[in-house]
Chain A
Amino acid sequence: MKLRTLKRHLNESFKSLARNGWMTFASVSAVTVSLVLVGLFLMVMFNLNKIAGDIENDVQVRVYIDQSATSVQQNQLESNLKQVKNVQSVTFQSKQQGLNNLLQSMGSDKSTFQDLQKQNPLPNVFILKTSRPEQTVQVAQQVKSLPYVSDVRYGKGTVEKMFQFVNIARNVGIVLIIGLLFTSVFLIANTIKLTIVARRREIEIMKLVGATNAFVRWPYFIEGLFMGILGSVIPVFLVMIVYHFAYYNLSGNLSQMFIRLIPYQTMTANLSLLLIGIGAIIGVWGSLNSVRKFLKI
């Protein structure tokens, strides 16, 4: 496209946006509202996904070693464990380490448990990691029958529940988001349609004297793009601010539970780009959708 043509299209677009100021404002607001909700939702979803993923990676089977086992027997058990199918790693955790971890996770209340130090009820354990979470059940079953194993524990339930929750949240959210996005597309399409009715004659004459469809479409494309991107400005800043508070207030507490949120920079950079992208797409989609009918001359 020639520069002068581009200039003409830009000129046309901004004239029209200004002329239909209130409708432009309404559409941009609709996009803004949708994207704010989408942004907040995605912020939560991304983190849930990450946490679920972390837990998933952390899937382990704890093998309690019989208290009566000698260290030779214990070594033998270790080499047996290493041969079990799907076992990725075997780590030893002494009863003392286990107790320390436990006390640490309880936070400041550890005084109540002081006497545990004297008589530690915990067993020594081997911690097995599997490469995939669904393998834990099979590994646990196989390990149970090995000699000197007193008990086998794995995070039955909790992981599954977590995934279930994330899945439900995701599905509900996706439906909600699609609904919102369609509303925005519809609003943009309607705004542009209003402006087109006024410019219908112009389009007709353009087509009559031999303008290509692309030529007619350009200004509308620009208008849609502009409205969509403008609509994403507030959501982007809002997400930055909200995540700033969420991240710096929550991540301290959560880290005690071994939960790590997505780093601030990563989250805001990705989410901003995503929101701007979604904004641009709804804008362009809405506007091109509304010219289509008028091009059939």
Chain B
Amino acid sequence: MDDMILMQNVWKAYSNGVMALNGIDLSVKQGEFVYIVGPSGAGKSTFIKMIFRELKPTRGKIFINHKNIATLRERQVPYFRRKIGVVFQDFRLLPKLTVYENVAFALEVIEENPKAIKKRVMEVLDLVGLKHKLRSFPDQLSGGEQQRVSIARSICNRPPVLIADEPTGNLDPETSWQIMDVFTRINEQGTTVVMATHNKDIVNRIRHRVIALEGGMVVRDEQEGEYGYEA
């Protein structure tokens, strides 16, 4: 009943014929923290993209909060996306905007009212520990700080689900731990977190459910699992 993400027999074929996902069945409960692991080309990014409907499944159903997004109308997609926070390996910040503006931007484009925006932006910047850098531009920040800005942006709209594709992929170990701290805190506030990663240390140290993909299929699904691959 409390499935936040439910996939039923999900297949994805890219236009060039590559089968990236081959019949995925799984459910993620509300408030869970899930790692998606697997070798390169296993379909992790494809899986992540399905959840916020950057891609549509070729076949199957994907329920997010009990709503099938495979059949979602194009006009509804923006409203659906407001309920999903997304974090990328390459941060995707706007270089000409300050830290504050980058986060506020996400609320402005969904036409939040200015007072609420100001309050909320300060809140999330505090949560990721960057309140003191709000006037800095992205190129004046370290990689970890930039990633934290992008996390702040992804959660400012209080999405019930946060998805991240290799959020620590470009970061050194020390910084990666900081990022995990932030994710943990967000998860503790009740947000469901799905994170695709290659980071063995993190997966093995901060234990959560592990779903391993290989060749577009779920080959392992364990609570408190291990990374299970060599580096």
Q: In the complex, what residues of B have CB within 8 A of residue A213's CB?
A: 78
B157 proximal to A (CB < 8 A): yes
Interface status of A56 (Cβ within 8 A of chain B): no
A33 to B155: give the CA distance in the assembly, Å.
Answer: 50
Asked if A209 and B109 make an inter-chain contact with CB atoms under 8 angstroms apart, the answer reads: yes
B217 at the interface (CB under 8 A from A): no
Q: Residue B222 at the A interface, CB < 8 A? A: no
Count A/B pairs, Cβ under 8 Å.
Answer: 46
In the complex, per-residue mask of A275-297: 1 if CB is within 8 Å of any chain B CB, else 0: 00000000000000000000001
Query: Within 8 Å CB of B78, what residues of A?
Result: 207, 210-213
B139 at the interface (CB under 8 A from A): no
B82 at the interface (CB under 8 A from A): yes
- Which residues 207-228 in A have Cβ within 8 Å of B in the complex? 207-213, 215
Quick check: B110 and A209 within 8 Å, CB to CB?
A: yes
B52, B78, B79, B157: most-surrounded residue (chain A CB, <10 A): B78
* A206 touching B109 in the complex, CB below 8 Å, given contacts A4-B114, A201-B94, A212-B78: yes
| Complex CA–CA separation, A202 to B106 (angstroms) | 10
| Docked pose: A2 CA to B80 CA in angstroms | 21
A205-B105, A297-B54 known; A211+B92 contact, CB < 8 A: no
Which residues from chain B contact A210 at a C-beta distance below 8 Å?
A: 78-82, 109-110, 157
Contact flag A211-B110 (CB < 8 Å), given A201-B92, A202-B94, A205-B92: yes
Tell me if A5 counts as interface (CB < 8 A to partner B).
yes
Identify the closest chain B residue to A5 (Cβ). Answer: B111
A204 near B: Cβ within 8 Å? Answer: yes
- Complex: how many Å from CA A213 to CA B76? 11
Please, which residue of chain B has its CB at the minimum distance from the CB of A8? B108
A13 nearest CB across to chain B (Å): 15
Query: Does B86 count as interface, using CB distance less than 8 angstroms?
Result: yes
List the B side residues contacting A202 at CB < 8 Å.
Answer: 94
Report, nearest first, the 4 A-B pairs whose CB atoms are least far apart: A210-B82, A211-B109, A210-B81, A209-B106
Interface residues of A (CB under 8 A from B): 2, 4-5, 8, 201-202, 204-213, 215, 297
Not counting A209-B154, A209-B157, A210-B157, a sample of 18 additional A-B residue pairs whose C-beta atoms are within 8 angstroms of each other reads: A201-B92, A207-B78, A208-B52, A208-B81, A209-B81, A209-B105, A209-B106, A209-B109, A210-B78, A210-B79, A210-B81, A210-B82, A211-B78, A211-B109, A211-B110, A212-B75, A215-B109, A215-B111
